[in-house]
């Protein structure tokens, strides 16, 4: 009897062990199946949160660079031959500098003639004055009639008037002689030249154009709605096409607005620089203040289908594509004006490879080189 029971218990124990083994194998298979079905992260990313910074408020504008004032230099003498031209386009000149000369021979001859006429009038006046003096001495003696005395007096006044007229004509001829030299009316830069040696020119003919004092200005076209925010004395940053940025200052605002474009002109003084030229097109910005802003790195903002988006990482490590509105840009920071909460976690970079709802693996951002160096 005991011999029969002993193998029975051995069989039962073996069966139990076999069942446990089968269950273990099934559990392992189930674990493998579960692991194969678990979703895998699409990308490993770092996240960032919006930061509040104080950003400058700027108004952008376009416009042309022009001369502050342009002087037209022409001829004053009439019918004289241009003998010499001493300056050319681009030359820097000083007030009173001789720019060109006309042949002075004719004017010198006229001056000599008028000097002779003055000398003749002076002699006639001396004779008339002597006669008048004798007539006044004889007035009480009765040797001369009153009519004769008046004639001598009148002759003296007439001679004096003729002398004054001769001297005035001599001054005119002297002035015309000085006009044979064309002088610069102010300091500046010659911007245009039409003078040709040998030409006989009438009075008033243009010879040169000059940028007074070499000063240039940027004439910015600003929308009428923004004109009230711009004041004289404010700073402006002007960038000519193909040149480097220049620091300018608002001088004045035009009193009228163009009815066609609804833009007003803002005149900005520019520093003396070789980068700007009159007639160039330039872009610029006016600094009109500063205000706080919610910002993100530029790499965190995506442009898709003409709209701006950010990828917000949720608690389940899935990204949610969120539409935002952007504003100012300073360096690598972009202002977010709406659509994003201040505590949101946003994919810092690489968002272009992700779609809405993708699972991501978030890791800490690597320390910057500057932080590592300080450590």
- Tell me the pLDDT band of 258, cut-offs 50, 70 and 90: very high
**Domain annotation covers residue 27:** no
Residue 204 lies in a domain: yes
Q: Does one domain contain both 135 and 189?
A: no
Residue 374 has pLDDT above 60, yes or no: no
Indicate if 273 and 228 belong to the same structural domain. yes
At 172, the pLDDT band (50, 70, 90 cuts) reads: confident
Same domain, 286 and 296: no
Residue 92 located in a structural domain = yes
Same domain for 174 and 148? yes
State the average pLDDT for the chain: 84
Identify whether 11 is part of a domain: no
Look at strands 188-193 and 181-183 and give their pairing. Answer: unpaired
Is the pLDDT at 253 greater than 90? The verdict is yes
Q: What is the CATH number of the domain that holds 206?
A: 2.40.50.100
pLDDT recorded at residue 83: 92
* H or E segment to which residue 110 belongs: helix 105-137
Q: Are 301 and 324 in contact (CB under 8 A)?
A: yes
Domain range for 173 is 104-179
Question: What is the number of structural domains in the chain?
Answer: 4
Q: What φ, ψ does residue 22 adopt, rounded to 5°?
A: -65, -45
pLDDT band at 209 (very low <50, low <70, confident <90, very high): very high
Is residue 317 located within the same domain as residue 349?
yes
| In-domain check, residue 202 | yes
**Which DSSP helix (H) or strand (E) runs through 111?**
helix 105-137
203 & 217 share domain: no
To the question of pTM greater than 0.75 for the whole model, the response is no
Q: What per-residue confidence (pLDDT) applies to 370?
A: 37
Any domain includes 23: no
Whether the pLDDT of residue 168 is over 80: the answer is yes
Q: Does residue 24 lie in a domain region?
A: no
> DSSP readout, 141-201?
TTSS-HHHHHHHHHHHHHHHHHHHHHHHHHHHHHHHHHTTEEE-SSSEEEEEE---TT-EE
Same domain, 64 and 119: no
Residue 215 token pair: 């000063």
8 pLDDT above the threshold of 80: no
Mean pLDDT value of segment 73-94: 92
- CA angle, 177 as apex, 176 and 180 as ends, to 5°? 90
Task: Decide which of 236, 256, 291 is a domain's last residue.
Answer: 291
């Amino acid at each position: 009897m005991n011999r029969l029971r002993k193998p029975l218990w051995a069989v039962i124990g073996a069966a139990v062990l076999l069942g446990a083994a089968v269950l273990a194998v099934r559990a392992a298979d189930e674990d493998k199946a579960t692991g194969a079905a678990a979703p895998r992260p699409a990308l490993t990313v770092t996240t960032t949160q919006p930061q509040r910074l104080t950003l400058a408020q700027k108004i952008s504008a376009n416009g042309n660079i022009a001369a502050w004032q342009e002087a037209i230099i022409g001829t004053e003498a009439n019918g004289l031959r241009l003998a010499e031209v001493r300056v050319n386009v681009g030359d820097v000149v000083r007030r009173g500098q001789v720019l060109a000369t006309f042949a002075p021979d004719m004017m010198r001859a006229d001056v000599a003639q008028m000097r002779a006429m003055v000398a003749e009038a002076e002699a006639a006046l001396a004779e008339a004055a002597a006669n008048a003096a004798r007539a006044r001495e004889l007035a009480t003696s009765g040797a001369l009639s009153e009519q004769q005395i008046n004639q001598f007096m009148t002759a003296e006044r007439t001679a004096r008037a003729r002398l004054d007229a001769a001297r005035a004509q001599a001054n005119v001829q002297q002035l015309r002689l000085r006009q044979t030299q064309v002088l610069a009316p102010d300091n500046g830069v010659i911007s245009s030249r039409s003078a040709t040696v040998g030409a006989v020119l009438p009075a008033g003919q243009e010879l040169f154009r000059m940028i007074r004092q070499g000063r240039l200005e940027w004439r910015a076209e600003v929308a009428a709605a923004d004109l009230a925010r711009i004041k004289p004395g404010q700073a402006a940053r002007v960038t000519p096409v193909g040149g480097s940025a220049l620091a300018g200052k608002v001088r004045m605002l035009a009193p009228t607005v163009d009815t066609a474009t609804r833009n007003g002109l803002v005149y900005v003084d520019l520093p003396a620089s070789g980068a700007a030229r009159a007639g160039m097109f330039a872009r610029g910005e006016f600094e009109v203040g500063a205000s706080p802003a919610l910002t993100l790195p530029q790499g965190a903002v995506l442009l898709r289908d003409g709209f701006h988006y950010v990828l917000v990482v949720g608690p389940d490590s899935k990204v949610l594509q969120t539409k935002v509105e952007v504003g100012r840009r300073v360096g690598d920071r972009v202002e977010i004006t709406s659509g994003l909460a201040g505590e949101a976690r946003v994919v810092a970079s690489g968002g272009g490879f992700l779609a809405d709802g993708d699972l991501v693996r978030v890791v800490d951002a690597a320390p910057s080189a500057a932080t590592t160096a300080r450590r």
